[in-house]
């Protein structure tokens, strides 16, 4: 389980296509603290560390993950948000994040507000995912608060620390991001809507 509080950025060093999978070689200042078989959130996607050498390490994304996330659009030198699993005795600074991306969204507008930034996102409403005003959303692994919540869009405000410390400073209008909707909201929606095949 994660909390959406990004620890560090990783840089994509190399991408190897292996059948329908992709293996990413990444460089991070905290890579030396990783362990083989450890689960790490990469832009909100839970991936397993398969190799470590100094400040570089490897993870593999299978076809299903590549189809449902923005990892397939990564390129060498791209920056990725990293978070290790929450320790059992740690503080819960964000919200419950599983590292299971629900779908992607497109950044439709970025507005600078003299010290903060407003980001607008649109997503396909057909899968039935929803946001609520002042509720939580995880964007590329970052726990944020929603406002201007609509049927297929929402807005978030980004403070200078988050803008600089995560890959939000690299986002451009038209870019794809990973979304994980609030797990509590998903359970409530399922309970109220019943099971559908």
Element (H, E) at 68: helix 63-68
Asked if 128 and 167 sit in the same domain, the reply is yes
Round to whole Å and give the CA distance between 168 and 142. Answer: 9
Round to whole Å and give the CA distance between 134 and 162. Answer: 18
Asked if 161 contacts 168 with a C-beta cutoff of 8 angstroms, the reply is no
Question: Residue 44: inside a domain, yes or no?
Answer: yes
Asked if 179 contacts 161 with a C-beta cutoff of 8 angstroms, the reply is no
Question: Residue 182: inside a domain, yes or no?
Answer: yes
Question: Residue 96: inside a domain, yes or no?
Answer: no
Question: Residue 91: inside a domain, yes or no?
Answer: no
pTM of the model as a whole: 0.92
Q: pLDDT digits over 6-58, tens only?
A: 999 999 999 999 999 999 999 999 999 999 999 999 999 999 999 999 999 99
Among 51, 42, 45, 23, residue whose Cα is nearest residue 80: 42
CA 106 to chain centre: 13
Asked if 68 and 109 sit in the same domain, the reply is no
Question: Residue 92: inside a domain, yes or no?
Answer: no
Question: Residue 95: inside a domain, yes or no?
Answer: no
Domain boundary among 31, 49, 84: 84
- At which residue do the structure tokens 């451009």 appear? 172
CA 23 to chain centre: 18
3-class DSSP state of 12: strand
Query: Which residues pair with residue 106 across a beta bridge?
Result: 122, 176
Asked if 113 and 186 sit in the same domain, the reply is yes
Question: Residue 98: inside a domain, yes or no?
Answer: no
Q: pLDDT digits over 129-149, tens only?
A: 999 999 999 999 999 999 999
Round to whole Å and give the CA distance between 100 and 180. Answer: 7
Q: pLDDT digits over 168-197, tens only?
A: 999 999 999 999 999 888 888 888 876 654
Domain boundary among 53, 84, 115: 84
Asked if 76 contacts 12 with a C-beta cutoff of 8 angstroms, the reply is yes
Question: Domain residues for 22?
Answer: 8-84
Query: Which residues pair with residue 153 across a beta bridge?
Result: 122
Domain boundary among 84, 115, 138: 84
Asked if 80 and 110 sit in the same domain, the reply is no
Count of structural domains, the chain: 2
């Amino acid at each position: 389980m994660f909390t959406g509080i990004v620890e560090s950025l990783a840089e994509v060093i190399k991408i190897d296509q292996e059948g329908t999978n992709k293996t990413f070689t990444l460089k991070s200042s905290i890579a030396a603290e990783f362990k083989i078989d450890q689960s790490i959130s990469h832009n909100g996607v839970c991936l397993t560390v398969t190799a470590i050498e100094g400040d570089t390490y490897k993870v593999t994304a299978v076809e299903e993950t590549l189809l449902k996330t923005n990892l397939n659009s990564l390129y060498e030198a791209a920056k990725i948000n990293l978070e290790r699993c929450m320790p059992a005795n740690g503080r819960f600074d964000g919200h419950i994040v599983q590292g299971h991306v629900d779908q992607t969204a497109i950044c439709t507008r970025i507005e600078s507000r003299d010290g903060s930034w407003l980001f607008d996102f649109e997503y396909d409403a057909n899968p039935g995912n929803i946001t609520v005003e002042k509720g939580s959303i995880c964007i590329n692994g970052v726990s944020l608060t929603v406002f201007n919540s609509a049927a297929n869009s929402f807005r978030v405000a980004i403070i200078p620390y988050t803008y600089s410390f995560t890959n939000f400073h690299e986002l451009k209008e038209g870019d794809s991001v990973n979304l994980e909707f609030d797990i509590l909201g998903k359970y409530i929606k399922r309970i109220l809507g019943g099971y559908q095949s």
